[in-house]
């Protein structure tokens, strides 16, 4: 089984003669909780559309990959990231995932965790060998 999205990072990994799941029609914002600064989206939403959804509420993503024409699932699974030492990968902002499957238990959730900005240690541009905070 293979999963594909926007196709930005195309490779042979997306090719199969078996089951192929295309996330491009899974583009909905399911919930936006302004008080807790959390948004629930489907896997195939493009980051450009996600940006528009949060901007419409006066919010922004904590980590912004430089390419907006990729899906949320693609950004999560490829460790897409923005710029600067203060921001990590887009996947670090994920607090929970729900995976859909088939069979007796078609849904399961991966445990929630605090958002990255609450967990992230300060980063340093110093080389780790200098005994500075990067160690």
Domains and CATH numbers, the chain: 2-96 (3.30.465.10)
The pLDDT score that the predictor gives to residue 110 is 65
Question: Whole-angstrom Cα distance, residue 31 to residue 38?
Answer: 8
**Each residue of 2-19: pLDDT tens digit?**
777 777 766 777 778 888
Report the C-alpha gap between 86 and 70 in whole angstroms. Answer: 22
- Determine the pLDDT at residue 132: 44
CB pairs under 8 A, 24+ apart, for 3-8? 3/73, 5/43, 5/44, 5/70, 5/71, 5/73, 5/74, 6/44, 6/46, 6/69, 6/70, 6/71, 6/74, 8/67, 8/69, 8/70, 8/74
Nearest to 76 by CA among 47, 56, 54, 115: 47
pLDDT band at 75 (very low <50, low <70, confident <90, very high): confident
């Amino acid at each position: 089984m293979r999963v594909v999205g926007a196709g930005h990072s195309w490779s042979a990994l997306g090719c199969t003669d078996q089951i192929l799941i295309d996330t491009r029609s899974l583009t909905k914002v399911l919930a936006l909780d302004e008080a807790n600064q959390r948004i629930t989206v489907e896997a195939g939403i493009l980051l450009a559309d996600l940006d528009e959804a949060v901007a419409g509420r006066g919010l922004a993503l904590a980590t912004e990959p430089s390419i907006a024409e990729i899906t949320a699932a693609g950004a999560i699974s490829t460790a897409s990231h923005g710029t600067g030492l203060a921001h990590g990968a887009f996947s670090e902002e994920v607090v929970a995932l729900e995976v859909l499957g088939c069979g007796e238990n078609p849904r399961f959730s991966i445990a929630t965790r605090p958002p990255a900005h609450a967990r992230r240690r300060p980063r340093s541009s110093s080389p780790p060998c200098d005994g500075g905070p990067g160690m």
